[in-house]
Amino acid sequence: MRSILEAAERVLAENPAASMEQIAEASNVARTTVHRRFASRQALIDALAASTVERLAQAIEDGRPDTAPPLVALHRITANVLQFKSAWGFALGLPATEGSEATTTQEEIARRCMGLLVRAQDQGVIDSQADLDWVRRVYYALIGEALHDSPEDADPDVLAIKIVDTLLHGAGPRTR
Amino acid sequence: MRSILEAAERVLAENPAASMEQIAEASNVARTTVHRRFASRQALIDALAASTVERLAQAIEDGRPDTAPPLVALHRITANVLQFKSAWGFALGLPATEGSEATTTQEEIARRCMGLLVRAQDQGVIDSQADLDWVRRVYYALIGEALHDSPEDADPDVLAIKIVDTLLHGAGPRTR
DNA sequence: AAATATTGCAACAGTGGTGATGCAGTTATC
DNA sequence: GATAACTGCATCACCACTGTTGCAATATTT
């Protein structure tokens, strides 16, 4: 059950169009068995997406987004998410069914993130004029980009520093 | 010929797994005709990717990346690319064959971009400590993100300002 | 050990896409 | 206007994937 989802993660990460056969093979199970657990390919994908996004939400929660000081939370959450995504990230981009559990949780995560950004803005960590929706999307993009080339080797904390620094100060010259 | 590629762009943008049939239909042509022009599905995709990335390179060149002042070039190129990508951007993410014409041109574009960033750094527009490879990827990501929600309506110049500003200064408080 | 559930295997029908071909009608070229 | 090129259409063989089922073998429970 869980092992099938794990195998699916691995296989689909390499080839999003992989067949049920390949997934079954990767989890050392007959294709029929997969079909017995998951009525359809879509059902499997939904289950995978839901399970993964659920754990992502947990990793974020561990950073205490609405109680820790914004900067601290930002760092901790970034590091947690990096670590999680580098191992399980693929399934988060999976095309889950409209209105599925995965989608709902994703939205919940976005709300959590916005809440954190609002607190950061209130405390002057983010410019008061900033478009927080844009900031959030940039934040997401930076995380994705950081993983794009430093998959295994890099220390999540180091990467997190880089991301938060870029998010807040950009690439322009430092005036201090 | 060209009209088929244009239709393919439109159709594949909505559904990357679209069939030759759907592409043919969208270009008001019989499926056989498509097959007569493009030996295989992959050949069509390669041609589409090559043609598109070629025009992107032109749009970048129009911004004079290695003669105009870095900030000016950055703005102009960003606006040009935004405009181009909002209309034709999808095909740029297409899985072209290894070592195809499209891939080569992509690399050429990346080199052009790096050259511009180096000049920007030399002139103090970008921090002398900055990791230019990272900056370039962040730049790409910002462009992608900007298009993600403002597809048609927005003025490319306004978006370009937002992107360059974020790239150089981030979301932190303004000290001026 | 007996009963139950789970699995692998083989086989099947169904679907949908790919790529090719022959032919007849249409369009462009000279 | 004749010729050559192109197109649509119908059809074909072929393949890969999905989803189902029956059955025998294997694990699990009790």
Q: How far is the CA of B21 from the C1' of D14 (A)?
A: 17
Q: Which residue from A minimizes the CA distance to B135?
A: A171
CATH 3.30.565.10 at B53-169, yes or no: no
> CB contact, 8 Å: A169 with chain B?
yes
Please give the backbone phi and psi of residue A62, each rounded to the nearest 5 degrees, phi first: -60, -20
Classify the C-alpha dihedral A54-A57-A62-A67 as positive or negative.
negative
Alpha carbon A49 to its chain centroid, in Å, reads 11
Kindly state the average pLDDT of the residues B72-77.
Answer: 97
Angle subtended at Cα B25 by Cα B22 and Cα B31, rounded to the nearest 5 degrees: 80
Does pLDDT of B98 surpass 90?
A: no
As a whole number, the mean pLDDT across chain B is: 92
Residues A63-87: tens digit of each pLDDT: 999 999 999 999 999 999 999 999 8
The CATH number of the domain covering residues in A1-38: 1.10.10
Instruction: Give A174: exposed, middle or buried? Use CB within 10 Å, 0-12, 13-18, 19+.
Output: exposed
> CA B27, CA B11: separation in Å to the nearest integer?
10
Query: Rounded to whole angstroms, how far apart are CA atoms A109 and A64?
Result: 13
* C-alpha torsion angle, residues B94, A7, A90, B50 (rounded to 10): -10
pLDDT grade for B151, boundaries at 50, 70 and 90: low
Measured between CB atoms, does B161 come within 8 Å of chain A? no
Task: Please report residues of A whose CB lies closer than 8 A to that of B18.
Answer: none
Alpha-carbon distance of A136 to A66, in angstroms, equals 16
Q: Which CATH number fits the domain A52-169, given the four candidates 3.40.50.1980, 1.10.357.10, 1.10.10.10, 3.40.50.300?
A: 1.10.357.10
Contacts of A128 in chain B (CB under 8 A): 173
Question: What tens digit of pLDDT does each residue of A111-163 get?
Answer: 999 999 999 999 999 999 999 999 999 999 999 999 987 767 789 999 999 99
Region of poorest pLDDT, from A6-20, A48-62, B148-162: B148-162
Tokens of A125: 């960590």
Task: Please tell me the predicted confidence (pLDDT) of residue B95.
Answer: 80
The domain spans of chain B are 1-38, 53-169
